[in-house]
């Protein structure tokens, strides 16, 4: 059964597709919050933030193996790398 996941690491291991926050960018934002807390800001005074960037990752090799046709429009919103398409419409990225 085709699955959608939130982490591109899962796609590298064979999940057909993921769509979720850029975990590296989210980790950097978390570090900023930790810094502010350590400098004395109360956690309740910190704003709640939405992810600034999301990534769409498609494992084309897995999709082909499952007999799925990935629409060109969906692939166009990713930048291609190896057997996977990785990126977001706002800022394309490359896989390792």
What are 44-86's pLDDT values in tens digits? Answer: 999 999 888 888 888 888 888 888 888 888 888 775 433 444 4
Question: In the prediction, which pLDDT does 2 show?
Answer: 64
- Which has the higher per-residue pLDDT, 16 or 38? 38
CB 71 within 8 A of CB 17: no
How many whole angstroms separate alpha carbon 1 and alpha carbon 25? 30
Helix locations, 13-94, DSSP H: 23-38, 60-65, 72-76
Q: Rounded to two decimals, what is the model's pTM? A: 0.62
The two structure tokens encoding residue 67? 């007999």
Q: Please state, rounded to an integer, the average pLDDT across all residues of the chain.
A: 78
């Amino acid at each position: 059964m085709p699955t959608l996941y939130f982490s591109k690491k899962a796609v590298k291991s064979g999940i057909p597709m993921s769509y979720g926050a850029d975990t590296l960018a989210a980790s950097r934002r978390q570090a900023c919050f930790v810094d502010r807390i350590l400098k004395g800001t109360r956690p309740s005074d910190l704003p709640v933030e939405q992810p600034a960037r999301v990534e769409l990752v498609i494992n084309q090799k897995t999709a082909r193996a499952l007999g799925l046709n990935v629409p060109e429009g969906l692939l166009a919103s990713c930048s291609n790398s190896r057997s996977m398409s990785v990126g977001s419409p706002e800022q394309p990225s490359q896989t390792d």
